Amino acid sequence: MKNVLYVDCCIRREGSRTKELAEHFLKELEKTGEYAITGLVLMDEGLNFMAEGFFRQRDELLAGKNFAHPRFCHAHQFAEADKIVIAAPFWDLSFPALLKVYIENLCVEGITFKTGERGLEGLCKADHMVYLTTRGGCYAGTPLEMGSRYMAAMAEFFGIGRYDCIAAEGLDIGLVPVEELLGAAKKEAEEVVKTF
Ligand SMILES: Cc1cc2nc3c(=O)[nH]c(=O)nc-3n(C[C@H](O)[C@H](O)[C@H](O)COP(=O)(O)O)c2cc1C
């Protein structure tokens, strides 16, 4: 069995179309019987962002190589997963700040990356990251889309070789029914599961 870490940043929870898409992907994964999925709901994690004492504490812990401190639990969990699945809506041209706070907590030198001869090198075990999102407008392939592009860069930074984004977009424009747009993205999700 491969361990999948599912990071849920669907702020609107049960009302979220991104969550609906992610759950379809996970259901398809479960059907294969090859994956053990661990869910992490970021809204329930009480994550801290880096400011004042929280920032200083990190410096002190890292100076003492105290990687076992509980504040690094998310970095360890992420580094050890075989596969990563992240779901977040498109907000303000990228994603909710909560996901950035999570990433800030993941970026710990010595756990998820290290400084090597060629600069920074990823230390994460996962070989594939899948990012699921939905967008109100249409931005795919444009410079204004900075959610998936950022996540692709983070996957590379963490040493994760393969990255896929599954997106439904134009959901708030009203030209095509939401069910149709989500349905197409769900089909795409089924294809990605086949080579996950
Ligand atoms: C705070 C906020 C910011 C948003 N920013 C954008 C945006 O920059 N561009 C866009 O096309 N849609 C934007 N949207 C619309 C969402 O991307 C869209 O409704 C998406 O499907 C929401 O996902 P959800 O149903 O999973 O919450 C925003 C929505 C919210 C609530």
How large is the average pLDDT for residues 111-125?
94
CA 180 from centroid of its chain's CA atoms? 25
Ligand 1 nearest atom to the CA of residue 168, by list position? 21
H-type alpha helices, the chain:
17-32, 52-63, 73-80, 97-106, 148-158, 178-194
- Answer whether 163 contacts ligand 1 (Cβ < 6 A): no
Burial class (CB in 10 A: 0-12, 13-18, 19+), 46: exposed
C-alpha–C-alpha distance, residues 62 and 69, integer Å: 10
Q: How many CA atoms lie within 13 A of 61 on its CB side?
A: 17
Q: In terms of DSSP H, where are the helices of 33-140? A: 52-63, 73-80, 97-106
Q: What is the residue extent of each domain of the chain? A: 2-194
% of the chain residues with pLDDT over 90: 97
* Contact 172 CB / ligand 1 (< 6 Å): yes
DSSP for 153-172 reads: HHHHHHT--EEEEEEEE-TT
Residue 38, SS3 per DSSP: strand
CA angle 190, 142, 196 (to 5 degrees): 20
The string of pLDDT tens digits covering residues 47-99 is: 999 998 999 999 999 999 999 999 999 999 999 999 999 999 999 999 999 99
pLDDT digit string (tens) for 137-146?
999 999 999 9
Match 């959610």 to its residue by tokens. 147
Any ligand 1 atom below 6 A from CB of 13: no
- Atom of ligand 1 at shortest range from CA of 135: 17
> Exposed, middle or buried: residue 138 (CB in 10 Å: 0-12, 13-18, 19+)?
middle
CA 43 to centroid of ligand 1, rounded, Å:
17
Predicted local distance difference test score (pLDDT) of residue 118: 85
Fold of 2-194: Rossmann fold (3.40.50)
